[in-house]
Amino acid sequence: MLKELRIDGVDREERESGAPKWVWGVLAGVVVLALLSGAGWWLSMGSKPLTVETTTVRANGQGASADAVLQATGYVTARRMATVSAQITGTLTEVLIDEGFKVKKGQVLARLEDTGLKAALTAAEAQVQSSQAQIAQVRAQLVQAKADAARAAELAQSGMSSKQSQEQTATAVKTLAAQLEATLRQGEAAEAQARMARVNYDYATVRAPFDGVVTARAAQVGEIISPLSAGGGFTRTGVGTIVDMDSLEVNVDVNEAYIAQVKADMPCEAVLDAYPDWKIPSHVVAVIPSADRGKATVKVRVALEKKDDRVVPDMGVRVSFLATKPKVQETPAPGVLLPANALAQRDGANVVFVVIDGRAQARTVKLGADVGKFKLATEGVKAGETVIVSPPAEVKNGSTVQIKE
């Protein structure tokens, strides 16, 4: 009877619920699995980074001018630069320069072993002195011969001397005159040899060809230098490199699609990568009539109108080509310059998204007067920060982003 009562109870519950208990358990499990799958999909989609384009904002008055027609990058180059060497092969006994030294034209930079050259010069000068002594001797003999010839002529006229004696004295005068001429030519040859020996001796002293700054020291005392390159690496071809700092200019590569906008004497502003706050007034010197096939660029020479010790060769430069020559301006308004497409509207406010550690941080910005094609943000963002350009609608505060390369 107990079994019957239990069976009757189970049947009664099942009939009241309308379905067995195991069916409700299966349905509950399916619902839980669906919720877990949805949560996983939402988390995976939410963590997938959005690919965005970015730019680095700069302070107002820094970098390129607002009215720049075109921008290009390049390097500082020297129009006059020389690797100084001797004109003869020899061993260095003195090197009087080092990197960074300022030198004047004609200043001694180095000296070579000159013992042999000095001996040759001494011998040549001695030969000159010997030639001069011989010339003096022949001249004295010629004077005496002329006097003898004159007396012989007087005696011949008075009949006290023979005609043969007169002819002999006249011949002696002519002989000594010819000997003097030969001695004079020998003296000239000796002087030429002495000048050559003096030049060779001077070649042992290396001098600066122009005013400049030493940028490299290439040889040491005891090394052999030669104006001709030699194999094996044991002979140096120069003592050092000198750069004329007054000849510094900028060479930039301009895309050939925009080269028509660049003209000679066009005003520019150059900004060194090392000194981004310093604008250097410049102008175009010439457009080189040759294109680089591989880079599709044309080289443009730009002259710097102001120079100082901060400008050195091979520095990176950004050049802005201007439509008109910039006027002297007062201190620019404080703030940073934003591209117009970096601004977004969120809840009726101007917002920019700053990328920090791979996430977008929404910043409400306060705008001032426009500066050319840029928006001036006086509050909300700092110079040097990276902002998203043309932010997608999906970008929110805290979104994971990936910068487009």
* Within a domain: 30: no
CA dist., res. 354 & res. 90, Å (int): 64
Residues 277 and 382 both lie in one domain: no
DSSP conformational letter for 316? E
Q: Quick one: pLDDT at residue 10?
A: 45
Q: Which residue range is the domain that position 392 belongs to?
A: 50-61+332-403
* Within a domain: 10: no
CATH number at residue 357: 2.40.420.20
* Within a domain: 182: yes
Residues 198 and 120 both lie in one domain: yes
Positions in the chain short of pLDDT 70: 1-47, 60-67, 161, 229-234, 326-332, 405
Residues 339 and 310 both lie in one domain: no
Can you give the length of the chain in residues?
405
Residues 225 and 257 both lie in one domain: no
- Which residues 6+ apart lie within 8 Å of 118 measured at CB? 201
Residue pLDDT, tens place only, 130-183: 999 999 998 898 888 888 888 888 777 777 767 777 778 888 889 988 988 999
The count of structural domains within the chain is: 4
Residues 128 and 161 both lie in one domain: yes
Q: Quick one: pLDDT at residue 41?
A: 46
CA dist., res. 361 & res. 381, Å (int): 11
> Looking at 147, 171, 203, which one is the last position of a domain?
203
Residues 195 and 262 both lie in one domain: no
* Within a domain: 32: no
| Helix (H) and strand (E) counts in the chain | 4, 25
> Looking at 271, 288, 322, which one is the last position of a domain?
322
Of residues 311, 303, 317, 320, the one with CA closest to residue 268: 320
* Within a domain: 34: no
DSSP per residue, 50-107: EEEEEEE-EETTSSS-TTEEEEEEEEEEESSEEEE--SS-EEEEEE---TT-EE-TT-
> Looking at 154, 182, 203, which one is the last position of a domain?
203
Residues 106 and 126 both lie in one domain: no
Q: Quick one: pLDDT at residue 142?
A: 87
Q: Quick one: pLDDT at residue 145?
A: 85
Residues 123 and 193 both lie in one domain: yes
User: Which region holds residue 296: left if phi is over 0, alpha if psi is between -120 and 50, else beta?
Assistant: left
Residues 135 and 199 both lie in one domain: yes
